[in-house]
A and B are shown apart, each in its own frame.
Chain A
Amino acid sequence: MKSLEELKAIREKMQGQVGFRSEDADQTRVVVGMATCGIASGARPVLTTMSDAVQKKGLQNVIVTQTGCIGLCQYEPIVEVMEPGKEKVTYVKMDSEKALEVVEQHLIRGQVVAKYTLSSTNL
């Protein structure tokens, strides 16, 4: 069994360098729908992939969170990207691969991946 002792080492390493995550104005919020509709259509791996990729790429100004149902169940998994001062972008029918593309193109390079957005569907 993996022991809890390892946590002590992590604590010692982390203590002192725990910075406050600033909720400042230039923070980008990435929100994944995690209600029944989202979960049933595959939101769990999308959320994990997004969060891991943002972590790995060291995107300090991006925060990945979850939300409930926004009423577009047939388009789940849905990912919303909210950048300060810009219009919200809604990505629909997402999966892990598309999520990585959004991280690369949108979050890092600032290019909206138009082919996955809600406005690209015939709503």
Chain B
Amino acid sequence: MTEISLNILDIAQNSVKAQATLIQISVIIDTKSDKMIVIIDDNGCGMTKEQLENVEDPFYTTRTTRKVGLGVPFFKYAALSTGGDFSIQSETLAGTSVKAVFGYSHIDRMPLGDINSTIHTLIHFNSNIDFLYMYRYDDQEFVLDTRVIREMLSGVPIDTPEVSDYIRDYLKENKEEVDKNQVI
């Protein structure tokens, strides 16, 4: 993957497939500890013990269309190669939480990339799922909670073009305010 935001999209697709009704995504940049932390947390079907033990193995997959499963290994490798950390917690019927810690200024850290596009794509194409997205840069942060948006819309679908455009602008303007439009 050429951007961490693509890893996030990929991992969140697992949550979609796990029939989650709420997916929480956090991107936290802390320049003092020189870390970038990404957490993807869902309330989906979770994994069995066997699946959890094997999920980091590229030659393990539950799908039948091919014999490899690279999503999680890619993400793990991207984090570990920056001197970071990677962990997955999962409980059957309760959900899964994936956490990746990157060395923020490490030369091998991929750029975050177009995270707004990842979040917007997830919300727009999974309009039946709620998302809680948090983006923090040091002590500045913003949150996008589709449950709040849904309530304010009272019945107007979240994938209506006007709403979709609004969410795109909301992500863009707030991210710029939080990270002062730096390349992350």
Contact = CB atoms under 8 A, between A and B. Distances in A.
Partners in one complex: yes
Interface of A: 1-2, 4, 6-8, 10-11, 13-15, 18, 34-37, 39-40, 44-45, 47-48, 51, 55, 65-66, 68-71, 73
A11 B156 contact: yes
Contacts of A7: 149, 152-153, 163, 166
A11 B155 CA distance: 9
A69 B63 CA distance: 9
A36 B1 CA distance: 9
Given A2-B170, A11-B152, A14-B160, 9 more contacts: A18-B156, A18-B160, A36-B10, A36-B69, A36-B74, A37-B66, A44-B9, A66-B125, A68-B65
19 contacts: A1-B142, A4-B152, A10-B163, A11-B152, A11-B156, A14-B160, A18-B155, A18-B156, A34-B13, A34-B125, A35-B71, A37-B70, A40-B1, A44-B6, A48-B117, A48-B121, A51-B125, A66-B125, A73-B66
B152 A35 contact: no
A28 B93 CA distance: 36
Contacts of B70: 36-37, 40
A48 B125 CA distance: 10
B70 to A, nearest CB: 5
Interface of B: 1, 6, 9-10, 13, 17, 63, 65-66, 69-71, 74, 114, 117-118, 120-121, 124-125, 142, 148-149, 152-157, 160-163, 166, 169-170, 173-174, 177
Contacts of A18: 155-157, 160
A18 B160 CA distance: 9
Chain A interface SS verdict (over half): helix
Contacts of B65: 68-71
Interface-centre pick from B120, B152, B155 (highest chain A CB count, 10 A)? B152
Contacts, number: 91
Q: Which 4 A-B pairs have the closest CB atoms?
A: A71-B65, A36-B71, A7-B152, A2-B173
A25 B10 CA distance: 32
Nearest to B125: A66
A4 B152 CA distance: 8
Contacts of B162: 10, 13-14
